[in-house]
Structure 1
């Protein structure tokens, strides 16, 4: 698989993640951990059936258990940290901090073997982050020491996902099919935590079950397999910048559903995010002398 094709596949994960907010709205009143449990069960089963269809199940036996532990803790940890960050701090502020993960991917990827740090990648990521910040800040961001724990969890959330994405590249020889094990193990852990801290409330409407099914199929399912291909074989720095398109596309989806209004802020955010992606893409296409190259 070529680097360009892998980058495109990774970008499809970003498109799927942009539907997360709209679909989540339709899952009420399902509590977060129960929703996490159901969706990861669906996403894991998709990967299991795909692996069986390809006849690659036996190959997973050669994968070392620390890899499975790492993947499970990353997926489970990210979502638990995110859910509780939004409970302990205002959603807009916590979301803004959590969305530092694409920027961290651009920074941390410079530590990878054969990866080069280019100022253009950082400039593109910063531009796109400013665009994402505009979208989130439009919801009246409030930072206060009262919410310090929630903001700290949001920062841990960003570090967890960026670290998972970058470290996954070091395990490029691990088959993408292994992600279904991460998903099913995350689902099992989520079920246990749900029964410990939440009241079980299943949705009554068919539309809510459809939304949950679509979440499990897309943003909390296939997206993780696409992302694994992208970060292992694609341009990880470009993917980090492209990831800022998720909140923008998410807002446009909500606008199309009548859940939000089109504004000058949204237009400016679209310009910044698009500009950042273009800058990063141009840098990726031009061979230039790196400012820094990891010796690891």
Structure 2
């Protein structure tokens, strides 16, 4: 598989994640841990189909337990934070803050061996954080009442940090097969069931459309997307993939607006452009680095 093809496959995950916020809102009132359990249970089934189709299920035996633990921690932690954030804060604002992860991937990959942090990274970071601040201070996205917006925004920020760390570290684990994501999903579902039984009240989707949203999440944004992303970050150009990922907050916001879950206001649009534009600016220095340097960083 060529580097460009792997990067393109990774970007397909970004297209699926554009629906994550909209589908998550549509699953209400399912609590976050139960939603984790349901969607990752479906995702584990997607992984079994993936492994059977690619003939790689047998490779699971050679993956170390530590690698599986890392993957489970990344997926479980990120989605617990994400689903909780969207339950506590307005979906559009929380989703945009969570989508600071492309910026953090660029910043993190710039600190890998053979790379260095440049002025463009810092300027782009300032723009992206300005967009996040506009969301938190201006609350331009509209929508219904939120139980605890401030806590939701904090959790959304944690999402961004968690997913960026997972993606950059996955790059360093490129020798392990993508089918290992099946175990990540199964482990995340199991942990979510246990945690749900301990601390949450069981509340199922309120309608047939809610169940459709749960299944759609498990098949796409919380299922196939992780396998596609794993290929992209391990075998593609992680900086180019980061640049492409900056479409995610804009696409996600457009999906929420189109679905009637957020208002198309100037404040929300400006915040999305600041986050996406700042992250893209941060990627420019890295994308212009010498080819030999980039290869050393992604070895």
Same fold (TM over 0.5): yes
- Which residue in the other structure is 1:218 paired with? 220
- Which residue in the other structure is 1:34 paired with? 34
- Which residue in the other structure is 1:17 paired with? 17
Distance 1:206 1:112 in 2: 47
Structure-2 change in CA distance of 1:258 and 1:77 (3 Å): closer
- Which residue in the other structure is 1:103 paired with? 103
Structure-2 change in CA distance of 1:114 and 1:73 (3 Å): same
Distance 2:253 2:136 in 1: 10
- Which residue in the other structure is 2:186 paired with? 184
Distance 2:194 2:275 in 1: 39
Deviations 1:164-189, CA, capped at 9 Å, x for gaps: 11110011111111101100110011
What do you get for the CA RMSD once the two structures are aligned?
A: 3.6
SS in 2 for 1:261: coil
Q: Is the 8 A contact 2:32 2:84 kept in 1?
A: no
Deviations 1:91-123, CA, capped at 9 Å, x for gaps: 788666644433322222123345565544555
Deviations 1:127-186, CA, capped at 9 Å, x for gaps: 455456545655269xxxx99977765554433222111110011111111101100110
Q: Is the 8 A contact 1:102 1:125 kept in 2?
A: no
Alpha-carbon shift at residue 3 of structure 1 (Å): 2.4
Alignment counterpart, residue 234 of structure 1, candidates 212, 232, 236: 236
- Which residue in the other structure is 1:243 paired with? 245
Deviations 1:12-37, CA, capped at 9 Å, x for gaps: 22221121121122212222211111
Structure-2 change in CA distance of 1:28 and 1:125 (3 Å): same
The unaligned stretches of length 5 or more in structure 2 are 142-147
Structure-2 change in CA distance of 1:7 and 1:160 (3 Å): same
Distance 2:290 2:261 in 1: 44
Structure-2 change in CA distance of 1:116 and 1:173 (3 Å): farther
Number of paired residues?
A: 291
Alpha-carbon shift at residue 220 of structure 1 (Å): 0.7
Structure-2 change in CA distance of 1:54 and 1:97 (3 Å): closer
- Which residue in the other structure is 2:144 paired with? none
Structure-2 change in CA distance of 1:113 and 1:42 (3 Å): same
Alpha-carbon shift at residue 284 of structure 1 (Å): 5.8
The unaligned stretches of length 5 or more in structure 1 are none
Q: Is the 8 A contact 1:105 1:166 kept in 2?
A: yes
Distance 2:105 2:24 in 1: 26
1:51 and 2:51 aligned:
yes
- Which residue in the other structure is 2:260 paired with? 258
Distance 1:166 1:48 in 2: 25
TM-score, normalisation: structure 1? 0.81
Structure-2 change in CA distance of 1:10 and 1:116 (3 Å): farther
Structure-2 change in CA distance of 1:123 and 1:270 (3 Å): same
Distance 2:150 2:206 in 1: 36
TM-score, normalisation: structure 2? 0.80
Q: Quick check: 5-14 or 46-55, which moved more?
A: 5-14
Q: Quick check: 123-132 or 30-39, which moved more?
A: 123-132
Distance 2:93 2:249 in 1: 14
